[in-house]
Amino acid sequence: MGSKRILILDYSVDRSETESIKRWLPVESSVSSLFIDTEESFPDDLINNDFTHVIHSGSALSITETAPFVEKAMNCIRKIRDKGVSQMGICYGHQLVCRALVGDQAVRSSPNGLEAGWSRVTIANNAMNVLGVRESEMVWQHHFDEVTELPEGSELLATNPHSSIQAFINYGQCLFGTQFHPEIDEETGNKIFLKDRELLEKHHYNVDAMVKQGPSLEAGKVFFDFFIEG
């Protein structure tokens, strides 16, 4: 296997996603990142770089609102896809990839409202062996929006009653996406829940009960290893 050259496009408002993601990536890989918050922060020549993998991060932004950088980002996603470079989207990034490759109709605010907590997802039969996971796993969730339509040729990897598309893969277009956040470990995830107590309780979540739970697997290792090495 050649050297991995990984780009993290960090859309997080607080610039927290890069370090959360980077800790799971191979130490021998070359990792760079860009914080994206304006149209100007998205380089015109990004497609000319020789990255082997591009990761689109999560964000506190809503995919249903067009942030200043979105059109440029979606155009870049299409060009990266056409170049055959592997792309992974996490929550907002997952939604952004699908919006870019399917259209605005691929995303929406979830009619079920906020999904937050250590939430159970069901892994599809075709994914359990590939990922090395069980049929049911607990992962970190914190989102209002969801994907409703996947790029042509995609396979569903995980689902749950709140948001039916929890993870997908598209071998033909070199795409991998998760609605949940595999980069968030138990300590970090519970700190965020405590910080967001007011918002979560407004949406009828019991934060004290939430922080007593945790993940059922080391999601960062499972999902980032699968993306980078698979």
Rounded Cα distance between 13 and 4, Å, is 27
Question: What average pLDDT does range 41-49 have in this prediction?
Answer: 88
pLDDT band at 12 (very low <50, low <70, confident <90, very high): very high
Strand partners, 150: none
pLDDT band at 2 (very low <50, low <70, confident <90, very high): low
- 203 catalytic, yes or no? no
Give the CA distances from residue 152 to residues 102, 161, 173, 193, 219, in Å, rounded to whole numbers and listed in that order.
8, 23, 9, 35, 26
What single letter denotes the amino acid at residue 188? T
Q: Give SS3 for 192.
A: helix
Given the residues 56, 91, 137, 162, select the one marked as catalytic: 91
Among all chains, which residue has been given the structure tokens 């059922």? Answer: 216
Q: Which CATH number fits domain 5-109+145-183+218-229: 3.40.50.880, 3.40.50.720, 3.40.50.300, 3.90.180.10?
A: 3.40.50.880
- 91 catalytic, yes or no? yes
Residue ranges of domains in the chain:
5-109+145-183+218-229
Q: Give SS3 for 47.
A: helix
Work out the percent of the chain whose per-residue pLDDT is above 90.
93
Global pTM?
A: 0.96
The predicted-structure confidence for 207-229, as pLDDT tens digits, reads as follows 999 999 999 999 999 999 999 98
- 183 catalytic, yes or no? yes
Q: What is the pLDDT of residue 152?
A: 97
Give the CA distances from residue 135 to residues 115, 122, 163, in Å, rounded to whole numbers and listed in that order.
20, 6, 17
Q: What is the pLDDT of residue 1?
A: 47
Given the residues 56, 94, 162, 181, select the one marked as catalytic: 181
Tally the residues of the chain.
Answer: 230
